[in-house]
């Protein structure tokens, strides 16, 4: 079973916490790590310097398409980041837990 990590940023902790709990409850993901970050980016021809929350969604390959769809449907941003990180190596015990948590 292949592990998939999807990352996205959210405007506040409340918006990502609600989504993360729903995704874990519905077994779409095994875990969501949430960290406060500072993002500097260009938006509407202006440089922004904003506090955001980075979400790291951990799941298995069979849930990847559904996860991306759900992020897009529930995301508060007009242009959400939905980036997939390839995982070429992961310890077996963590992999086993992740698979059990998403099946």
Would you mind telling me the total number of residues written for the chain in this entry? 103
Quote the pTM value: 0.91
- 103 — pLDDT class (breaks 50, 70, 90): confident
In a 3-state reduction of DSSP, which class is residue 89? coil
pLDDT 10s digits, 12-52: 999 999 999 999 999 999 999 999 999 999 989 999 999 99
Question: Cα(34)–Cα(2) distance, rounded to whole angstroms?
Answer: 22
CATH of domain 3-102: 3.30.70.120
Q: Outline where 1-103 has alpha helix (H).
A: 13-25, 64-74, 92-102
Question: Cα(38)–Cα(31) distance, rounded to whole angstroms?
Answer: 22
């Amino acid at each position: 079973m292949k592990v998939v990590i999807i990352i996205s940023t959210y405007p506040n902790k409340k918006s990502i916490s609600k989504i993360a709990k729903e995704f874990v409850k519905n077994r779409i993901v095994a875990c969501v790590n949430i960290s406060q970050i500072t993002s500097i980016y260009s938006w509407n021809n202006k440089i922004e310097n904003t506090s955001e929350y980075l979400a790291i969604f951990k799941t298995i390959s069979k849930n990847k398409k559904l996860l991306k769809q759900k992020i897009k449907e529930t995301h508060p941003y007009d242009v959400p980041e939905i980036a997939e990180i390839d995982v070429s190596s992961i310890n077996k015990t963590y992999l086993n837990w992740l698979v059990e948590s998403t099946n």
